[in-house]
A and B are shown apart, each in its own frame.
Chain A
C-alpha cells in the first residue's frame, strides 16, 4: 500500500510539474498549487506508512456480514471474477450487452462457487434480456445490441 501511495504521489508531482502556469493577477493560485499539496499529503502518508508498517502496525481488514477473515484471501475466486469482468469490457461493444452481460453474470456466479450450470445460464440470460429491454423501454437508453443487431 505504501508503494502504491508513493507511486501516486510521485505521479501527481510529475504531472503538476508539467503544467505550464503563467502568473496572472486574476488567478494567483494557478493550476499547480493544489496538486502539489495533494502530492505532499500522499507522499507524507506513504513515508509514514512505511515507518508504521516497519514498527509492526497493520490495518485491520474490513469485516462484514459475509466476510470470514479467518481464511486467507481466496485468489481462486477473485481472479476468475476479474477475468469475467475484463471479458465483458472487451466484448460489450463487439457482441452486445445481452451476450456479454450473460457471460459476466454466469462467469461471476461460477467463480463464486455455484455449480448449477443450466439454471445459472437461464438466470443470466433472462437478467441480460430484461435489463436490455427494460433500459430501452423504460429509460430510453440503448444498450448495444452487438451481433444480435436486428434479432432483438
Chain B
C-alpha cells in the first residue's frame, strides 16, 4: 500500500476522541516526568506498562509516543531552569540555556527549545515515514546470519560508543546478557540459571527488570545522595520570542535536525553526539560568537532540535528492524513483546494499523506538545518544587505497585529489590544502565538468530558470514572495536 495512504489511515485511527485523549495524557505525563528530577521517559513507560495491559495495544502505544516526545522536551526545561541536566542528551542544552535563564531570558530559551523541538520532531517523523518502509524492504531480504550480525553490531555499538568507560559498558552488557539467559532454553526446554526456582522458569519479566533498574535503582541512588540544600529555580514567565530570536533560531533548528536524525537512526545513535556536534557547529557559524558561554540562543536552538530529531530517528531501527538504541525504545520494544506483537520487518505487514497509528500519533503528540507547553511552562517550573521525600517515595510506591500487578506475586517484588540494588550498585560504580537493558532484550533474540543460522548451515560456522550484508556488518564491528577515537569527540560530563 502507498505509504501516504497508510499514514492517513493511521491518522484516522489515532484521531478518535479516545485515542486523542491518550495522546494528551501521554504528552502531559511525559512532560511532567521529563521535568521532574529523577524521572525519565524510559522509567515512565516502564512504570506504566503494567497499567496499560488493560488498554488496547494501539491506545497504549499512542500514549507511549506522547510520553516519549514529552519526556525529551521536559528534560530541556529542567536543564534550562536548574542547570542540572537529568539526561545526558540535555547536557549541552544546559550550557547556554541556563546562562540565558540567569540573564533573564529564560522565556526565550524555553520558547526556542519548544518550537525547535516541534520543528525537529515533525521533520524527523516525516523522515521516519519515508525511511522506515525503505529499511523494511531491505530488511525483509535479510536472513538470520545478517540479523545476527546487525544485532551484535547494535549491542557492541551501544556499549562501546556511549559512556566514558568501555570496560564498564561491557560489564553492564555482560550482566544484561546474563539476565536474559534466565529461564527455559527456548529450543531444548532446559532451565538455565533458574536455581531450581520454578517462578524463574519463564525468565525474568522485562517489565520487572526495567522498573527495578530504572525506578528502584534510581530512587535508592538519589536517596543516598539527596541534595540537602534546595536547588535554585529560576522563575519564568510566558515563553515568547522576539523577531530577532526567530531569525537567529531557525537555521540552528534545521541544522540540528540534520545532525540528530541520522545519528538517532544509527544502531549506536543516541543523542549525545549530535547535540554536541550541533553546539560546536552553531558556535562556529554564529555571527555572535562572543555570546557563546554567556547565553547564546543558537546554543539552545540547535542542540534541542538535534535531541528531538534523534528521538524520531531512533524509531526507524526500532520499528523496522526491532532494534532498540536507547532506553525508552528498549522499554517500548519490551512492551510490543508483552502484547504478543513481534517487532521487526514483518511488523509493517502484520500490524499496519498499529504502526501507522503510532506514527500518526507522533505527529499529533508533537503538535500537542507545542500547544500545551508554551502556555504551561510556568506550571511545569512549579513542579520542580515538589518535596523530594514525596517524589522518591512515590517512585518506590508505584514501582512496587506496577511490578506486583503484573503477576500478583510477592516473589516479583523480591526480584525487584535485588535488581534495584544492582541498579544502585551500577550507578555507584559508574556502570551505564543502557547496555544492560539492551543486552537483556536483544540477547535472547540474538541467540535465536545464531541458532537459526547454524541450523541452516547444519553446524558449519561459515554459515555465519554466508550473506554479504553480514560480512559488511562484521567489518563495521571490527572498525568500531579498533577505533576508539569517536569517544574522544564526546564531551566529558562535568559535575554541576
Contact = CB atoms under 8 A, between A and B. Distances in A.
Contacts of B228: 68, 71
Interface stretch (B3-11, B113-121, B170-178, B314-322): B170-178
26 contacts: A15-B193, A19-B190, A19-B192, A27-B187, A28-B458, A34-B181, A41-B170, A41-B173, A42-B178, A60-B165, A60-B430, A61-B428, A64-B218, A65-B85, A65-B231, A66-B225, A66-B231, A67-B225, A77-B224, A82-B421, A89-B417, A101-B397, A112-B392, A135-B405, A141-B405, A143-B408
Interface stretch (B16-24, B133-141, B382-390, B477-485): B382-390
A86 B387 CA distance: 24
Interface in B444-493: 447, 450-451, 454-455, 458-459, 493
B150 to A, nearest CB: 17
Contact of A112 (B51, B393, B447, B455): B393
A33 B496 CA distance: 45
Interface residues of B, number: 79
A16 to B, nearest CB: 7
A28 B454 contact: yes
Contacts of B174: 5, 8-9, 38, 41-42, 45
B454 A78 contact: no
A54 to B, nearest CB: 13
A145 interface: no
B396 A85 contact: yes
Contact of B171 (A5, A12, A16, A26): A5
B54 A45 contact: no
B253 interface: no
A141 B405 CA distance: 7
B227 A67 contact: yes
B394 interface: yes
Interface string B229-267: 001000000000000000000000000000000000000
B223 interface: yes
B339 interface: no
B300 interface: no
Contacts of A81: 219-220, 223, 396
A86 B114 CA distance: 42
B208 interface: no
Contacts, number: 232
B396 A64 contact: no
B451 to A, nearest CB: 5
B223 A62 contact: no
A69 B222 CA distance: 10
B224 A49 contact: no
Contacts of A58: 429-430
Interface of A: 1, 4-5, 8-9, 11-12, 15-16, 19-21, 25-31, 33-35, 38, 41-42, 45-46, 48-49, 52, 57-69, 71, 73-75, 77-78, 81-82, 84-86, 88-90, 92-93, 97, 101, 104-105, 108-109, 111-114, 123, 127, 131, 135, 138-144
Interface in B372-418: 387-390, 392-394, 396-397, 400-401, 404-405, 408, 410, 413-414, 417
A37 B170 CA distance: 13
Contacts of B224: 73-75, 77-78
B390 A123 contact: yes
For the complex of A and B, the 3 pairs showing the least CB-CB separation, nearest first, are A59-B430, A65-B37, A28-B459
A1 B187 contact: no
Contacts of B450: 29, 33-34
A64 B37 contact: yes
Contacts of B443: 34, 38
A28 B54 contact: no
B396 A108 contact: yes
Nearest to A88: B400
B106 to A, nearest CB: 17
Given A41-B174, A104-B396, A139-B51, A67 B428 contact: no
A65 B408 CA distance: 33
